[in-house]
A and B are shown apart, each in its own frame.
Chain A
Amino acid sequence: MNRSSIARKLLLAALLLLVLAAFAMPLFSMLLTAMREAKSVGKPLLEPGHVPSAAQLGANVKEVWTGRAADFPLFLHNSLFVAGLSVLGMVVSSSIVAYGFSRLRWRGRDALFILVLATLMIPFPILMAPLYLVFKQLGWIGTFLPLWVPAWFGGTFSIFLLRQFFLSIPRELDDAARIDGCSEFGVFTRIILPIAAPAIAVVALLQFVASWNDFLAPLLFLNHEETYTLALGLHMYQSQHGGTPWNLVMTAALLIILPVVFVFILAQRAIIGSVATQGLNE
């Protein structure tokens, strides 16, 4: 290796470190603040008596979780309920719809699929006011229904992802099953679904993250505290009268981010891989 190539490598490595620091900074800042007492917040990091500690993090977690300011255990329960039903609905409906868009041949199929993709272009702000009125007519405002029922009708990205996967399965498998007397639904449940298990797992994880993170739908459609999800509860917790100390807000934020980070660590390759395919299909 010559000298200029070493210099180039060093420069790139320095850039890489800078990028790492920039993107991780807010998360670090959150973690360090969550590890301090209220009176230490804003003090230099290593000032004696104010150093962040794991013990203080434990105390903060306890205070956030059992404090009277917000019923986080209840919010967790609500979030899990909504996310569970959304994941189930999204997996069931998107795989059925994706089957119709990939394994069956019929007129208008591809034109209709373009419409599915085109819905990505409909901005949420144009939908939110009339959607509120639709849910109000249905008597759904203030209930969990607006948060999970739509997932039972499939989602664009999930349908897209599963369709891609279904298309890659050899057709001979279906034909063989049909010759053996398998019905169309049998082909779907016994042949396609088992093979597509990895893709379905990715759809389930992404839907879990989407439900867990959803802030706007709970903000618009929920109206009393007992029904709040964690995302909305965190908003309320921070914006309370007088304001909540930042060390506790950051502790609460840490708690809501942790499960998502866990999911990401669990399925990093699959998640990044599924996102990467988006842009490749013009």
Chain B
Amino acid sequence: MATARLHPTLRGLTWVSPWLLGFGLFMLLPITLSAWYSLTDYSLLDRPIYVGLENYRELLHDSVAHAALKNSAIFTLATVGVGTLLSLALALLLEQRLPGSEFVRAIVFLPTLVPVIAAALLWMWALNTETGSVNTILRTLHLPTPDWLGTPTGAMASIVLVSLWGIGTFVVTYAAAIRGVPVSLYEAACIDGAGPFRRLTTITLPIISPTIAFNLVMSIIWSLQAFAVPLVMTRGGPANATTTFALYVYQNAFVFGRMGYACALAWVQFLFTLVLVAGVLWASRRAVYHRGA
């Protein structure tokens, strides 16, 4: 053969080079730039001016940033906590294999494919205080009809609700994991006289725990990134009650024109994400069941 044989590593790198290039250009470069810009005052119109740690110092005294941090914490806790319990419950329900489960599974998954802008508008309309379908149903049941988007608590509940509408991905992964649990284990447990609840806590949950850990990590990362929904539904209001940290980063960069400060905020967010994810991974090393271990 005429072609010279490349060194295997060089050949491998050549095949994956599109990804390497993209990673460098659209991730490594922006991240590096971001570290530098976070030390500058940069309004986009002028050149960046080096200000040292000034942005990070400002962050310590910025009450909106603190509110945003608190909002993100509440939002993440609510969506990850309720979302995990709800998606586990739905997966267990779907795996009972009743007639029609397949169809319900499809409808539960469908919202994850709905464009986020459409999802936000659909819910804005459904949560309309006077004429929305949510309050119409509540009124029919003689339940209180909250002003969803007009009050701080209602607005936070609303954006959590929209996120929970999109848990289909988790439901599907949990359902697949539950299906993978060996039937023999359940049979053995039944012979030993274990009830449904005991079978859930001693067999199903331990065996699918790697999936739970993985989904927890992904769901924390996604929740901390959320800002399109509050941007469209509430613009962060009322009174900054739904200004998530990511939305505040966006506002600083693209509304207030403060690129430098936005980059500093983004780094703080990255740090929080890393700490939380590391926490989950650390906890899961102890709690997660490893087959054959």
Contacts and interface: CB of A to CB of B under 8 A. Distances in A.
Given A119-B27, A234-B118, A257-B118, A106 B8 contact: yes
Contacts of A184: 11
A280 B125 contact: no
A159 B15 CA distance: 12
B174 interface: yes
A280 B176 contact: yes
Interface in B93-126: 93, 96, 98, 100-101, 103-111, 113-119, 121-123, 125-126
Most chain A C-beta atoms within 10 Å of own C-beta, residue among B16, B93, B116, B263: B16
B109 A272 contact: yes
Interface in A232-263: 232, 234-235, 238, 246, 249-250, 253, 256-257, 260-261, 263
B240 interface: no
B270 A123 contact: yes
B282 interface: no
Contact of A42 (B3, B37, B130): B130
A12 B9 CA distance: 55
Given A12-B93, A213-B116, A279-B176, A100 B225 contact: no
A256 to B, nearest CB: 6
B50 interface: no
Interface stretch (B148-156, B197-205, B208-216): B208-216
Interface in A84-120: 93, 96-97, 99-101, 104-109, 112, 115-116, 119-120
B262 A129 contact: yes
B271 to A, nearest CB: 10
B225 A134 contact: no
Contacts of A112: 16
Interface stretch (A21-29, A60-68, A193-201): A21-29
Interface stretch (A51-59, A70-78, A146-154): A146-154
Bin chain A's interface residue count: 35 or more
A23 B165 contact: yes
Contact of B273 (A19, A115, A121, A153): A121
A167 interface: no
B173 A132 contact: no
Which secondary structure dominates where chain A touches chain B?
helix
B112 to A, nearest CB: 8
B117 to A, nearest CB: 5
Interface in A8-36: 9, 12-13, 15-16, 19-20, 23-30, 33
B15 A268 contact: no
B43 interface: no
Given A124-B225, A154-B22, A280 B177 contact: yes
A268 B217 CA distance: 26
B115 A256 contact: yes
Interface of B: 3, 8-9, 11-16, 18-19, 21-23, 25-27, 29-31, 33-34, 37, 90, 93, 96, 98, 100-101, 103-111, 113-119, 121-123, 125-126, 128, 130-134, 165, 169, 172-177, 180, 210-211, 213-215, 217-218, 221, 224-225, 227-228, 232, 245-246, 249-250, 253-254, 259, 262-263, 266-267, 269-270, 273-274, 277
Given A106-B11, A257-B115, A282-B213, 4 more contacts: A23-B108, A209-B113, A235-B117, A280-B173
Interface of A: 9, 12-13, 15-16, 19-20, 23-30, 33, 41-42, 93, 96-97, 99-101, 104-109, 112, 115-116, 119-134, 150, 152-154, 159, 183-184, 209, 212-213, 215-216, 220, 231-232, 234-235, 238, 246, 249-250, 253, 256-257, 260-261, 263-264, 268, 271-272, 275-280, 282
21 contacts: A16-B93, A19-B108, A23-B108, A26-B119, A27-B110, A30-B122, A42-B131, A104-B11, A105-B8, A119-B27, A121-B277, A125-B249, A126-B31, A127-B30, A130-B37, A213-B114, A249-B121, A264-B113, A275-B169, A279-B176, A280-B176
Pick the 9 closest A-B CB pairs, nearest first: A153-B22, A100-B15, A279-B173, A106-B12, A42-B131, A276-B176, A130-B30, A213-B115, A100-B16
